[in-house]
Structure formats: C-alpha cells, structure tokens
Structure 1
Amino acid sequence: MRLTSLEERQREQRLVTNRALVAGAVVIVGLLLLCVRLLHLQVDRHEHFSVLSMENRVKIQPVPPTRGLIYDAKGVLLADNHPTFALEITIEKVENLAATIDDLATIIPIEASDRARFERLKRQRMRFQSVPIRLNLSHKEVARFAVNSYRFPGVDVRAELIRTYPFAEATAHVLGYVGRINEREMSQIDTSNYAGTHFIGKGGLEKAHEDVLHGKVGYQQVEVNARGRILRTLESTPPTSGQDIFLSLDMTLQQAAIDALGDRRGAVVAIDPRDGSVLAMVSKPSYDPNRFVEGISGKEYNALLHSLDKPLFDRAARGQYPPGSTVKPFIGLGGLATGVTTAHKTVYCSGAFSLPGQNHRFRCWRKGGHGTVDLEKSIIESCDVYFYSLANQMGIDRLHSFLSQFGFGSRTGIDVAGELAGLLPSREWKQRVRKQTWYPGETLIVGIGQGSFLATPLQLAVATATIANRGRLIVPRLARASRFPGAATETPFPVVARQINVGNPRYWDQVIAAMTQVVESPRGTAKRIRSPEYRIAGKTGTSQVFTLGQKQTYNAAKTPERMRDHALFIAFAPVDAPRIAVAVLVENGGHGGSDAAPIARRVMDVYLGSKSPLPPDEATDGD
C-alpha cells in the first residue's frame, strides 16, 4: 500500500512537472512571438505608425481668408464683414447625432428651419467637416454653451465674419449678395481654395468679382488631445485676404435716382460717357440682401419670389422691354450712315403708313399726323410714320447690322453677374426660333422699337453714351479699381472701347442736334425738363405692353394699371461736353416725356450740381 502511494505521488509530480514545462514553453513561445511582433512594429513599421501617431496628434486646419470690402466712388462702405458666432457639429466626432441635437436644443433654441438647413448642408460636406446647426448666436447663448460644452464632444462655437450690406435695398441688385455654397457651386469651384469657407458670391458684383474678393485660403497645424481639443498651434500659413473693390457708383446719385423713381416700378442707369463708369444703377422695387446671407426662410423667400412687384428681378440689367421711340435717333443715324436718307429728305405723315399694295395701316401716335417731316422734326415730335418709311427703305438686314453695332441684341459686358442680352430680331433669328419667314411689316415695327425688339435699360444707357461720344462705345464698368488691404496703390480695371464708323462725322452732329431739340424745342416731347443751367439731349419713348387691333384705341384710364404702356427716356448732358448719360424706364408709367424724363432730369441735376427746380407738371402728348 505504501508503494502504491509513493508511485502515485511520483506520477503526480511528473504530471505537474510536464504541465509546468508545457506551460513554460507556451509562455516562452508567446514571449518570443510578442518580441517578434514588437520588433516588427517598432522597427519595420516604425515610420508608418509614426505618421499615424502624428496624424492623430497633429491636425491641419484651413484658415479662410477675409473677404474683400466694397466701396463706392467716394469711399462709402457698401459691403462689410461683421463678426458673428455659429454653433457647429463635426459629424465624425458625434456618436448619436439626433440625441446630441435634441440635447443642444435644451440649452440653445434650435428651430425646425435650423434643423432643415443642417440636414441640407450635411449632405454637401465630408464627415470630418463641421456643419452649422445654429447661426448668429448671441453672447448669452455662447456663454451658455461654454458652460455645458463638456457634454457635447464634437460640437464647437465658431467665430466667423458674415457679410453685411449697410445700404441694403439701395444696392441689392448691383452688389448681389453672398450665401452658403451649394452642391452645384461646390462642383465648379476650386475646393482646396474654399476649404473652411462657407460663403460665395451669389449675384451682382459679388459673383462677378468672386476671384478678386475671395482671397486665398491659409492653413495651420494644431496639436490636439484624444478628444480632438486643440492644445496648441504648431505651424501656420496665413491666408491672403481678398482685395477691396472701389466702384464708380456714387451713393448720393444712387439715392437720388431711388428717390426720383419714388414708389413706381422701374430702373435708372447713369453712365459717364468719358470712360464707361456706371454712376448709378437702380432697380425698384428691391429687397434686403442681408436676409439671404445666412439663409432666408422658405416663407420669406416665397413671399419675395411670388410677389406681383418682383423685387428679386433686376430690371436694370435683366429687364427686357421694347425700347419704343428711344431707338429712333439710332435708326435715323443708320439711315444717314447707309445712304438711305439725308437730314433734309422729307416724308409726309398723314397719321398712318401702309406698305405698297397692302391695306393694313400702321398708325402714328398722333391721329391727325405730323404733316411734312424731316429727320430732325421726326425725332423732335417722335413721328412714327417717318420711321416706318425709313425702316422699310433700310430693310431688316441693314437695320439689324447697324443697330447691333451699338450693342442691341448682345450683352454690354458689364461686371455684374446675370446680365441679359435683349433681342434684336433678324431673319435668321425668326427662322431659327420660330421656323418662320420674315415679313416686311415686322421691319416697320422694329423701326419704332416695338414688336420682338427688346432692350435692357443698361443697353439703352450704353447706346446713349455712345451717341454722346460720337461713336466711341465703351464697355460699362462698376468696379473702378481693386486694392489689397493695407496696400498703398490701387490696381485699376481696364477700359475697353471700340469706335463705330458712320462715314461722315457730321451725321453725329445732326442726330445730336435733333435730340437736343427734343428738350429745347416748344414742340419737343421732353420740353418740360429743359434746364436753364445746362443743355440736355434726349429722346422719349413709350413701350407697348400689349398689341392693339386695327380699330382699337389705347385709353390709359380704362386700361388696368399693369397693362399700361411703359415710359422710357434716354438723355445725356451737357450736350457740348457730355459727363453723364441716363436711361430711365418706368413700368406701366404712361408717357416718356411726362413720367420718365423728369426722373432723368433730377438725376442729372444732382450729378451736375444744378439747383434749378423742374417746371410744374403739365400734360404731355405723344411719347
């Protein structure tokens, strides 16, 4: 029995020893494997993991540039940058996004519109980019979040500069506005230069000069802890601020044009004929661009979009209207330049004109006619029959060729985004668009600026300045120069011009003399605005909103207000040394002489420093 017990003890001892040896071997093998792995990680993969470690510790952050400012001709600030705070969420750092937003809403008000904007912007950004959930935080809201920030990893308050427009509605259509970058814009821009930037120019000058105003993005290397909090800045490349832009626009004149239009819908464009500088560019009604910078509510936007007065519509550069009788000086000049007529050749106006072999009567605005008229008298009294006859003799091909030289039917090239080209009809246009042939009667309608002929107030102002220059057509510009912040010198924008040749320089004098008599002659359609201090050359116009039948007579009093004729007027002054050219459009205004011309006179008075009052209002027939 004792041997058995001894054998059992020895057997157990051997078993324990064997197990210990196996366990020891396993441990040794494990340690060897661990050493091999550590050797591999620390030696072979040292560089790889060093980079990963650095990426976890050091982050590269974009530093957006400060957007350039915009000033008027006298240094008045038109577009500024205002500091504000936004509450932003970095998606990849938040475990439960919905719960985080709900918790945030308990300390900072977050509306349904804020959530909707967040969802929209979230789809446009990478997960590592921050997305704003609330904009324009008050100082109290910033302090309230700071106290609770430990509860919200991945949520930060970010200070940024927001665009503001001190003159709001007075400059909305000229400047446009900046807004959040959308998906379409993101696909078109250099995303590396817009890293950290949430805003981009949406219209007007802001969009046209985006490359100058935006600047160049900078970067900084920052050290962060495990929670992503910034500990210190290791290295930085400062951004390059956008350039400031100085305009030719004069806010004193801009406001004068706004006041002259009053409550009426319309547009006023004033240009310096000497260099193409835009002095004033007004479209009424307007809107407040500040509401669009951080995102306007759907309700507000729909109210503007569907308003009967169309406040979002830029009538100066995008409004396309039949120019009416304002084109008569250009067509008269075309008749002289092409040799179709002379200044002294006469036409008898009986009150209507018919093409040979046709019964259709193209009526003159004066029912009884103007009698015998030459070029000067036809412009002074705005005789339609004279220009029916002249257009018929020139034909649509020569009309189109000559008028296109003045910019009709094409964009002026002004540095404002969204300009439209108008429409100068031709045989080719009608065949291409309407699949129809051109009829002689349509040529007559073009001869008085009606029918398919469309022009913008800006085009009319540029064409008027070209007559004032005796054929020197200058591309209009709002931006006069640019300058980097702190720089001593400005960089002027170039002046682009070309010369229109009409053959005999005397033709310019003859047309200008007739336009001067439009204002100075007792028979002139704009005689009311004659100034005792300077001489004005001008031309009135009336643009039809709808076409009258052969037996219909236009009666403004019985016509709904929005179906009444548009009133137009073009002018430049002083006649001998032009310094300002003006085009005025009053939607559904009535007559150019009584409704549009006084507006132009008030604008010219302010610019030329005249104090003479306008004569009392008086009835004006014709256009």
Structure 2
Amino acid sequence: MTELRDVERDLDRFRGRLIAAAVFVLLAFGLLAARLVYLQVLRHDELATQAEANRIAVVPIVPNRGLIVDRNGVVLATNYSAYTLEITPSRIPGGSAALEPLIDTLAQIVEIGPRDRRRFKRLLEEGKSFESLPIRTKLSDEEVARFTAQRFRFPGVDVKARLFRNYPLGDTGSHLLGYIGRINQAEKRAMDDWSEEDLGNYKGTEYIGKLGLEQSYERELHGTTGFEEVETSAGGRAVRRLKSHPPTPGNTLVLSIDIKLQALVEEMFGERRGALVAIDPRNGEVLAFVSKPTFDPNLFVDGIDVESWRELNESIDKPLLNRALRGTYPPGSTFKPFMAMAALNSGKRAAGTIINDGGTFVFGNHVFRSHGDKGEGPVDMVRSIVRSSNVYYYSLANEMGVDLMHDQLAPFGFGQRTGIDVEGEVTGVLPSTAWKKRVYKKPEQQRWYAGETISLGIGQGYNNFTMLQLASATATLVSGGQRFRPRLVREIEDVITRERRQIANDALEPLPLQPEHVALIRRALHGVTQEGTSTRVFMGAPYQSGGKTGTAQAVGVKAGEKYNASKLEEHQRDHSLYTAMAPVDAPTVALAVIVENSGFGAEAAAPIARRVFDYLLAGQYPSEEDMAAVKIGKAAAPIGTPRRAADVPLPGQAAPALPPVAETTPPPAEKVALR
C-alpha cells in the first residue's frame, strides 16, 4: 500500500525548524558578542588589572630594625642576616603526621638539635598551619648548599634569608632593652584595631618588640616596609623582578644610659637580687636602670625553647621581673628625709624641736622599738636623719596622721607612676584612709586604725614603692622641688638624614619647697656620710655626697620577738636600701638602690652607691679586689688600686693596655652603728 505524504506541509515544517535554529544560533552568537563587548570594552581596565595581578605578585620587604645605642654611642641592639630552614605545615604531604619523619630526614642533611625541635613544636602550637615556621636558624653556607641540592625531596620546606636581632653585650641591660619575638595570635588580634596605614606598614613583619624599650619604641624601631613587584610563573615561582621600592630602616634610639656604669652596677650585685636607678636631677635623664638577676635577650630572638623558658619563668629569683620598674618594697629609713620635709612643709614640727629617743615608743598597749634596745637620746631633725632615729619618726607619724602624710608625700611621686618612657610601671602604695576603703572589701578591713600610722613614719607598714619612684623622689627633694619625668631615651636619630630629634622632657611644675628646708635636708644627708650610718663607706671620697641608709622588713616579726636573720630563710631576711645624691651643693646624680635580703643598708646597698659616685664624679672603677668584696656584701670604703673607668672594657671586649691611676688609700675606718 502506497503512503501519501503532504510534501508541501513537510517543507513548511522544515523551514520553520530551520528558521528557529537560525534564530537560536544568532541569539547565542549575539549573547556571546554582547558578553565579549562587556568584558573587552566595559570591564577592560578592571579585568586587565586582575590579569596583571595574577601574573605579578607584590612582595613586602621588611625593613632593618633600628639600632639602640647608649649615651656614648655603644651599640646595645643591632641586626645581622642569616639563613633559616623553615617548614610550612599545610604544604607537607601527609599532614601533621608526616612532620616528625620529615624533620628526622632533614636532620640527616642539616643539624637539628633537641632545642630546635622543642622551639618548632612550641611555634607550631602557637601559630597556624599555613605559616612558615623555622626549624633551624643561622644555617652555615655549607648547610644551605647541602639542602638546596636536595630541595626537590622536601615540598613545603625552604631556606629563607632573615634578619636577626642581636644584643652584643648579652645580659647587660636586658631589663632595660627588652627583647623581640614572633607576633602571637593575641597580638595579631590587637593589630586588627590599627589604622590601615599602620597595618600596611607591618605586612610581612613577623617579629615585634615584646618588652622594655624594644616594645615601648616599636614604631620608631620598626621602620617603613618596602615592596617589590615580581613576575610569577603559573606555579607561583618568581620569574623576574619588575620594580621595587626599598624599605626604610628604623630609627636609632640614643639612650641616656651609660652602659659601662650599667655593667658595673650589675657586676657589683653579684649573685644577689635587687635594683638600682640613678637619675640626673637637672633633667630627669636616667643614667643607670638596673634589675638583678638579668637574662640573655638573645634567647628570645629566634624563639626561646621550653626548657629555657621554664628555667627563667619558674626560678625563685624571678630573673624576668624588672625590679626597678615593677618591684615594690618598703622604703625603710630612706623614707625619713621625706617625712622630715613633710613636717617642715606642714608646720607640724620645727627643725629645732627636740625629741628624746629612749629606744622605744609606746602607743596604746604596743611598744615600737628603735634599733636594738638603745636609743639616741635627745635628737633634733638633722640628728634624727644622721643617726636614723626611729622614735623621732614614730612620734612624728602619730602627730601628722596618715592622711596628712599622704597629702604631703604624694607630690613627690610616691604611690603613682612616674611616667617613664617604658611600659609596665606599677604604682606602688602610699596609704591613706581613702586608699584602704577602696582596696579592701570587708568593713572591718576598711577601717584605719591609729596604730597602723606609727610604723609608716619609718617607711614600713603599707608603704611600698619602686626604686624608680624612690630615685625620682630623691632627685626632686635634693634639687629643691624641681621635677621631671624620668627618661631612658635621650634622642632619636633619623636613619636617613642623621638628624637627631631631642625627646621632649619639659620640667613639670616644681614643688614649692622652701630653700632653707632643702638646705637642712641636704646637710642632714651629708651628715649621714660623715658621722652617721654610712661613714665607713664614704671615707676618703674625693667629693661630698649625701645619703640615707635603710633596712626594710621582708616579713613581719611577731610581737615580743626580736629579728634574727640566722633563723630565717634567705628570701625572708631584711632588705638593704640606700638613697643618695652628689655633689651636695649642686647634685648631678640621685639614686636609689636595694639589695634584697641582705641586711643593713650600710652593709650591702651603700657600698654600691659609693662606687657609682666614684665612677661618675671621679672617673674611677673598682679594683678587682674591691669588686670581689662588694659582690658578697663585705665592703666599706674602696680597697686596692682603683682603675680608670675609661680604661675598663665593656663585657666581652679586650682591655686596652693603659696604666692604672694612682692608688688612693682611705683613712682608717671607725666603727659606727649600722642602720
């Protein structure tokens, strides 16, 4: 049977389909053309920039960190370049499980010790897997060559050239300088609040100042980050450098510190703990800023290992505690000259008022004792300081009351931060009735008892100050009320222009001290060195100085018991303090020093102060024999042949072959009571 088809209808249907297909194709090509116009014309500039960015990488160039030098130009902190072997954990085939085998294999090519492994483990715990972490620092050229030859075996491992901070004098001035370390997660979160400009300047930066001047002057020391544009391959490797903008190194800090004096004081402490701050009363410049024991800041440069950190952090001697800035102590009898000035200013007691020191002061049913069981007899204000009469100041404290004492002594800076240019300073405590209500919770604890006032007069009780506060207050007292914020940095030198910018240290509003009152206090302090508690120490000094010894309790003694050092643990024994100034007529240096748990002020602290003055005012450095005696607290006036300070090398430096100065033998020592 033959099928009949409508050819004309089929042709119409075919033509319709052909037209539809043609329209679809034309529409598709139209869309492609429109998209092409959109991409090639309308978005040409934007996409061209993105394409260029895929080909060109902008790499930050971290600047050299600025130098730190002392007042004489001695370099205290500098940089050097070295190669580092680094691992990026996220790029290691096999993940974290493959890290240990990888390190073991690397150890066959370059030496990787237990300390390196411990440091890497700590950095891995603190950081993120995509960060490049050092497994070994300071590679030799031979080690770099050995690894480079086998680099193909270790994806995720690379050698990088890095700058390392170096502290040439080791632990000398460590608390002053501080150290740098890798930026941790908390610091990264804090940096999120920085401005875009500041944050951009830290691109590529992995290390910042963590303590001391390194932290406080971070922005000055960091410099300005540079950059370079590098053409990269599809695999991300640099092919060629297109252009670069060099970084600007950080500025140089010029300190007011004399690092040779700093090293001398640190050596005189020996194995003992303590602090010393020496200030120029004329401008507030800090000449020495010592805290003992010290630590080596070089340990922190490439990441301190766990054992070294534990040794520093858990030591009973607390070597990481900056005692000059954060250690607070009762001032003991060094507080008495300030009490005398408070009495004169307030009119509570005249200089000529005589108080009979019979060895005890009775208040209520409590007996407050003087030194031993023997009193000083009748004493006026000058003699009360020279002979360090406790009874005189027990009675004065009772007459003044705690709040008047607070109001008179707070202007000297006690119980508040001095504003020194380094972070971490504590306030200390200058008590008052308001302070006690603010600090304590229970009503019975908030109440001020009259008996608590008595011991404040001799620098005990709630009184607790830093050596920085005590030195600054002494500078204010002996300068007639002139006040400055203590400064460690003297100038900042621009690394490009070499111009030095003086750090502003304008005088604060002076205290309204009467010149005759200041002269009386100076005369009394000078008397301490001539006929008082530090006579033996300052015999034969070629200058006139003034000072005040102090002995401060580290732990309380029960009522009715006498202090006996031999029955106490070493860390429970009394502290030895000394405050001093020189020359008497026009002081150029004021200091405060404490030697922890070392007994009377004249035995341990005053000999250190004497040698500081010998260095600054006479250019003398202790003989080796004298140094040995000072370090163990067995010194009075200097012994042996003093060396010229200019001839003594810094730690780690060779001594110049120059003759010593002529020997000066002090006159025979007389026995005096130690206070």
User: Shared fold (TM-score greater than 0.5)?
Assistant: yes
Alignment partner, residue 11 of structure 1: none
Q: 2:340 matched to 1:338?
A: no
For residues 580 and 605 of structure 2, the distance between their equivalents in structure 1, rounded to whole angstroms, comes to: 11
> Which of 61, 75, 96 does residue 63 from structure 1 map onto?
61
Q: Structure 1 counterpart of 2:521, which letter?
A: V
Alignment partner, residue 106 of structure 1: 105
> Which of 180, 183, 188 does residue 178 from structure 1 map onto?
180
- Structure 1 unaligned spans of 5+: 1-21
Q: 2:72 matched to 1:74?
A: yes
> Which of 626, 633, 638 does residue 613 from structure 1 map onto?
638
Of stretches 255-264 and 272-281 in structure 1, the one that deviates more from structure 2 is 255-264
TM-score normalised according to structure 1 size: 0.89
For residues 237 and 53 of structure 1, the distance between their equivalents in structure 2, rounded to whole angstroms, comes to: 22
Q: Structure 2 counterpart of 1:375, which letter?
A: M
Shift of the 77–371 alpha-carbon distance from structure 1 to 2, 3 Å rule, reads same
Deviation at 1:446, TM superposition (A): 1.2
Deviation at 1:621, TM superposition (A): 3.2
Alignment partner, residue 141 of structure 2: 139
Deviation at 1:147, TM superposition (A): 1.8
Alignment partner, residue 557 of structure 1: 566
Deviation at 1:86, TM superposition (A): 2.4
For residues 503 and 140 of structure 1, the distance between their equivalents in structure 2, rounded to whole angstroms, comes to: 69
Q: 2:384 matched to 1:378?
A: yes
Shift of the 398–62 alpha-carbon distance from structure 1 to 2, 3 Å rule, reads same
Deviation at 1:291, TM superposition (A): 0.5
CA deviation map 1:466-493 (0-9, x unaligned): 1221111211111000112142320010
Q: Structure 2 counterpart of 1:387, which letter?
A: Y
Q: Structure 2 counterpart of 1:318, which letter?
A: R
Q: Structure 2 counterpart of 1:79, which letter?
A: A
Q: 2:234 matched to 1:226?
A: yes
Alignment partner, residue 17 of structure 1: none
For residues 524 and 211 of structure 1, the distance between their equivalents in structure 2, rounded to whole angstroms, comes to: 47
Match runs of 1:147-296 below 5 Å: 147-152=149-154, 155-189=157-191, 190=194, 191-296=199-304
> Which of 484, 489, 492 does residue 482 from structure 1 map onto?
492
For residues 147 and 390 of structure 1, the distance between their equivalents in structure 2, rounded to whole angstroms, comes to: 81
Shift of the 304–89 alpha-carbon distance from structure 1 to 2, 3 Å rule, reads closer
Contact 2:119 2:303 in 1 (8 A): no
Give aligned pairs, total.
600
- Structure 2 unaligned spans of 5+: 1-16, 621-636, 640-665
Q: 2:44 matched to 1:44?
A: no
Alignment partner, residue 8 of structure 1: none
For residues 52 and 27 of structure 2, the distance between their equivalents in structure 1, rounded to whole angstroms, comes to: 27
Contact 1:364 1:384 in 2 (8 A): yes
Alignment partner, residue 359 of structure 1: 365
For residues 276 and 347 of structure 2, the distance between their equivalents in structure 1, rounded to whole angstroms, comes to: 34
For residues 312 and 449 of structure 1, the distance between their equivalents in structure 2, rounded to whole angstroms, comes to: 27
Contact 1:594 1:619 in 2 (8 A): no
Deviation at 1:300, TM superposition (A): 1.3
Shift of the 150–40 alpha-carbon distance from structure 1 to 2, 3 Å rule, reads farther
Alignment partner, residue 612 of structure 2: 603
For residues 524 and 111 of structure 1, the distance between their equivalents in structure 2, rounded to whole angstroms, comes to: 55
Contact 2:547 2:581 in 1 (8 A): yes
Secondary structure of the residue that 1:168 maps to in structure 2? coil
For residues 40 and 230 of structure 1, the distance between their equivalents in structure 2, rounded to whole angstroms, comes to: 37
> Which of 422, 425, 448 does residue 438 from structure 1 map onto?
448
Deviation at 1:581, TM superposition (A): 1.3
| Percentage identity across paired residues of the two chains | 44
Match runs of 1:415-494 below 5 Å: 415-435=421-441, 436-494=446-504
CA deviation map 1:297-351 (0-9, x unaligned): 1111111111111111111111101000001001100000110011101111111
Contact 1:81 1:164 in 2 (8 A): yes
Deviation at 1:38, TM superposition (A): 5.7
Match runs of 1:405-424 below 5 Å: 405-424=411-430
> Which of 519, 528, 550 does residue 518 from structure 1 map onto?
528
For residues 91 and 62 of structure 1, the distance between their equivalents in structure 2, rounded to whole angstroms, comes to: 22
Shift of the 558–62 alpha-carbon distance from structure 1 to 2, 3 Å rule, reads same
For residues 273 and 262 of structure 2, the distance between their equivalents in structure 1, rounded to whole angstroms, comes to: 16
Contact 2:539 2:669 in 1 (8 A): no
For residues 534 and 418 of structure 2, the distance between their equivalents in structure 1, rounded to whole angstroms, comes to: 28
Q: 2:355 matched to 1:347?
A: yes
For residues 503 and 268 of structure 1, the distance between their equivalents in structure 2, rounded to whole angstroms, comes to: 26
> Which of 581, 590, 596 does residue 581 from structure 1 map onto?
590
Contact 1:266 1:315 in 2 (8 A): yes
RMSD of the TM alignment (CA)? 2.9
For residues 290 and 547 of structure 1, the distance between their equivalents in structure 2, rounded to whole angstroms, comes to: 39
For residues 249 and 203 of structure 1, the distance between their equivalents in structure 2, rounded to whole angstroms, comes to: 17
Contact 2:358 2:376 in 1 (8 A): yes
Q: 2:602 matched to 1:593?
A: yes
Contact 2:483 2:511 in 1 (8 A): no
Shift of the 188–568 alpha-carbon distance from structure 1 to 2, 3 Å rule, reads same
For residues 287 and 372 of structure 1, the distance between their equivalents in structure 2, rounded to whole angstroms, comes to: 49
